[in-house]
Amino acid sequence: MRGFRVLSRYKTKYLFDPTRVPCPISRDCQRRSMATSSSSHPSPTDTDRRVMVLFGLPACGKNHVGLFLARHYGFAFHDGDDDLPEPMRQAILRKEVATPEMRDAHIANIVSRIHSLRKDHDRIAVAAALFKQQHRARIRKAFPDIQMVWVKATASLLHERLASRQNHLADVAYAEKIFTHFESPGNEEEHDVLENDRCDAHIRKQLEDLVAYSLNNGRTM
């Protein structure tokens, strides 16, 4: 069984590919799958160096997309929750909203982590909520060619995923409490969008489109 890389606390863990729950079979999804298999778009493994930062609301599927990149495209995936400063982690456990100082410290940790990961990996995917536009701008300033991808999901899917979580920092009550603090990126903020609708064939097609767009617009990592 083929494994894939997941990075945590500066270490690389090799995990076996778990049995995937197939996406709901529909004619639309089947058409997407056929389009993916016949697509001429370059895959992420065709690039020399690439860093994708996946951001969005809790339970939108950032880690799912990151693991998808690790499983299918050879990305080294890192969960930004591993970089939470301890005061912020404790605040979340107490169901308190993180202070600006806590968020600043978290962003500093993520920037430092990306610098470290780029020394050893050509293709990196990092998942982090990044609620504030100023923090996303701070990451982009540190890495001008980084690819920021806003992972979106419907409200019903967000609530369903939150309700199914076990032993997670952000439960339903806490997530709903902080949802209003998320600053959606506007047209002035450079970013890509990935719609997470449960269908892995659709996710794969979107990822290939994102990479093709990136290459056509001169981005290199």
pLDDT tens by residue, 110-165: 999 999 999 999 889 999 999 999 999 999 999 998 999 999 999 888 888 888 87
For residue 13, the model assigns a pLDDT of 36
* Separation of alpha carbons 197 and 175, rounded Å: 19
For residue 214, the model assigns a pLDDT of 57
116 CB-near residues (< 8 Å, 6+ apart): 10
Q: What is the pTM of this model?
A: 0.77
| CB contact at 8 A, 178 and 162 | no
For residue 47, the model assigns a pLDDT of 41
- CA neighbor of 123 nearest in space, from 73, 75, 78: 75
* Separation of alpha carbons 176 and 125, rounded Å: 26
Confidence of residue 166 (pLDDT cuts 50, 70, 90): confident
CA angle, residues 95, 139, 221, in degrees to nearest 5: 135
- CA neighbor of 122 nearest in space, from 158, 163, 74: 74
Place of tokens 């049995």: 19
High-pLDDT (> 90) share of the chain, %: 49
Which contiguous run of DSSP H or E holds residue 152? strand 147-152
* Separation of alpha carbons 158 and 58, rounded Å: 8
CA distances (Å), origin 201, targets 29, 65, 148, 189? 7, 12, 21, 28
63-118 residue pLDDT tens:
999 998 898 888 999 999 999 999 999 999 999 999 999 999 999 999 999 999 99
29 CB-near residues (< 8 Å, 6+ apart): 23, 199, 201, 202
Q: Classify strands 76-79 and 11-16 as parallel, antiparallel or unpaired.
A: unpaired
